[in-house]
Structure 1
Amino acid sequence: MQDRQTAVITGSASGVGAATALQLAGRGWNVVINYSRSADEAQATAQACRDAGAEALVVQADVADDAQCRALVDAAVGRWGRLDALVNNAGTSVFGDAARWDALDAQAFQHILGVNTVGTFQMVRAAVPHLKAVQGCIVNVSSVAGALGIGSSMPYIASKGAMNAMTLHLARTLAPEIRVNAVCPGLITSRWFARGIGEEGYEKVRRAYEAEVPLGRACTPEDVAEAIVWLVAGARTVTGELLLLDSGTHLGRAARPADPRPR
């Protein structure tokens, strides 16, 4: 077994997953970069981690497939002999509100739950024996959607609500050997959301969001990664937390001071 700690980060070719891998690499962790479709981005992220002084392994796997989840964990343990942290970041959505019921059919629900909820469970099941051996940890990348019932679509909200409930259950059942927490970001300034609704729609949503929330800003992938890394590498007495990274969304609309300029 190597002395270096090892993390598997699902969905880490870009965005929050890539930022998390890079920050852990900078702390001396070995990292597994996982992707389902974005091979070139995954390789670029892995190289950035290597440039930061870490060892990095790139593994293609769809977390909705149990056999591929097991193979992903086995690749990490086979390479380095240990697994210290699992970050369940892979996720998907469909963009459709209550005015667009046609986007919310059973197939959409099953696909989103299959990746976001069942995929998380399958990764946890594959990783638990190895995490127990080193008293490791799990961080689930959830969303404010699961805590407040707001988000890109009903299936996404349901999947993240289920992830939050599962986080609490796992924190109880896997203690004291494994800590289990979740981060729940609000709007993140990443390409994932822009790809879903288009650049123009994304900019409109971002401006409205930043005008409403108390802190007046959306999360960057690096903001979310910092919280994940704290839960992984620190936070030794923290388990069962659903950490809201929502710029104060849960507090309600910001009470902005009136503009003193004459009109």
Structure 2
Amino acid sequence: MSTEMLNAIVTGASSGLGAATAIRLAKPGAKILINYASNHADAQATADQCRAAGADVIVMQGDVSRDEDCRALAAAAAPWGHLDALINNAGTTKHVAHSDLDGLSAEDFQRLYGINTIGPYQMVRAARALLEAGAKAKGRPAAVVNVSSVAGLSGIGSSVAYAASKGALNTMTLSLARALAPLIRVNAICPGYIDTPWFTKGRGAEAAKQVRDFITAKVPLKVASSADDIAALVCFLASPQSGHMSGELVRMDAGLHLVN
């Protein structure tokens, strides 16, 4: 992994994958903006770990479904002069069986699309000038990493609305990779199961344990991926080591897609 210091915004970074990514990016000289939607205490705990690693950290509340919040996040990073990476990690879902068509409303779709799809678009738009400045300052493209899901590739996951929002994020990744080249690279990661509080909050502790045990038994690699496991891929795509990659949807699911 590159040891270069990056200026980066990480949305949804109070816990889980976003927090793990921010902590991995943290090192002396790095500048990291940690965005959170509601959990200020966890965001501060993440920031403390980043500062302990030597990073300069901003902690800022913001709802990425609101364009004014996205522009405020970019404005907070503007004094740095440029951005090297934007990590669009903020996401949400509603746990509804795919067969339960009455379990999702138009409002549910709008809420999930607002955060999972429109939010990343608005963040890219707000941060574009800073990312382009980073490309010019460093002499190589800046990086956008969209955190998608295998749900967006296979139509699986916590609900039809969630899978649809991540599928839209995947195609948007391809569109933006074309539109923003050569100054900005845009890639997406498509993780499978991640062992974070996401499932506990959505389904309860016992149901979350059942999902973890089921996944561990089912996937060929017989592991439950941690947030830090997936964060390693996010940071690779944000780093100069992936400098010739753009428009990629990188699956990381412990081999789940190999199971019939």
* Aligned equivalent of 2:162: 156
Letter in 1 for 2:217: A
What is the SS of the residue equivalent to 2:187?
strand
Deviations, residues 74-109 of structure 1 (Å, cap 9, x unaligned): 10113x222111000000000001343333111110
* Aligned equivalent of 1:256: none
Deviations, residues 48-81 of structure 1 (Å, cap 9, x unaligned): 1000011100010000000000000110113x22
Letter in 2 for 1:67: E
Letter in 2 for 1:31: I
Matching of residue 66 in structure 1 with residue 67 in structure 2: yes
Provide closer, same or farther for how the CA distance between residues 27 and 220 of structure 1 changes in structure 2, counting only shifts above 3 A. Answer: farther
Matching of residue 251 in structure 1 with residue 258 in structure 2: yes
Q: Distance in 1 between matches of 2:159 and 2:149?
A: 12
What is the SS of the residue equivalent to 1:215?
coil
Question: In 2, are the aligned partners of 1:189 and 1:221 still within 8 Å (CA)?
Answer: yes
Q: CA deviation at 1:10?
A: 0.2
* Aligned equivalent of 1:124: 124
TM-score, normalization: structure 1? 0.92
Percent identity, aligned pairs only? 50
Q: Distance in 1 between matches of 2:229 and 2:74?
A: 26
Match of 1:199 among 199, 205, 209: 205
Q: Distance in 2 between matches of 1:71 and 1:117?
A: 19
* Aligned equivalent of 1:49: 50
Q: CA deviation at 1:194?
A: 1.2
Please list every run of 5 or more consecutive structure 1 residues that lacks an aligned counterpart in the other structure.
Answer: 254-263
Matches within 5 A, 1:221-236: 221-233=227-239, 234-236=241-243
Question: In 2, are the aligned partners of 1:95 and 1:103 still within 8 Å (CA)?
Answer: no
Matching of residue 112 in structure 1 with residue 112 in structure 2: yes
* Aligned equivalent of 1:8: 9
> How many residue pairs are counted as aligned between the two chains?
250
Q: Distance in 2 between matches of 1:4 and 1:17?
A: 18
TM-score, normalization: structure 2? 0.93
Q: Distance in 2 between matches of 1:22 and 1:28?
A: 13
Question: In 2, are the aligned partners of 1:112 and 1:159 still within 8 Å (CA)?
Answer: yes
Matching of residue 145 in structure 1 with residue 146 in structure 2: no
Q: CA deviation at 1:214?
A: 1.0
* Aligned equivalent of 1:175: 181
Q: Distance in 1 between matches of 2:104 and 2:256?
A: 25
Q: Distance in 2 between matches of 1:218 and 1:155?
A: 24
What is the SS of the residue equivalent to 1:83?
coil
Provide closer, same or farther for how the CA distance between residues 218 and 178 of structure 1 changes in structure 2, counting only shifts above 3 A. Answer: same
Q: CA deviation at 1:28?
A: 4.3
* Aligned equivalent of 2:220: 214
Matching of residue 102 in structure 1 with residue 108 in structure 2: no
* Aligned equivalent of 2:247: 240
Deviations, residues 99-133 of structure 1 (Å, cap 9, x unaligned): 43333111110000000001111001111111112
Question: In 2, are the aligned partners of 1:94 and 1:103 still within 8 Å (CA)?
Answer: no
Q: CA deviation at 1:27?
A: 6.8
Q: Distance in 2 between matches of 1:76 and 1:130?
A: 8
Q: Distance in 2 between matches of 1:129 and 1:24?
A: 22
Computing the radius of gyration from Cα coordinates, the structure with the larger value is 1
Question: In 2, are the aligned partners of 1:90 and 1:115 still within 8 Å (CA)?
Answer: yes
Q: Distance in 1 between matches of 2:211 and 2:255?
A: 16
Question: In 1, are the aligned partners of 2:5 and 2:27 still within 8 Å (CA)?
Answer: no
Provide closer, same or farther for how the CA distance between residues 27 and 188 of structure 1 changes in structure 2, counting only shifts above 3 A. Answer: farther
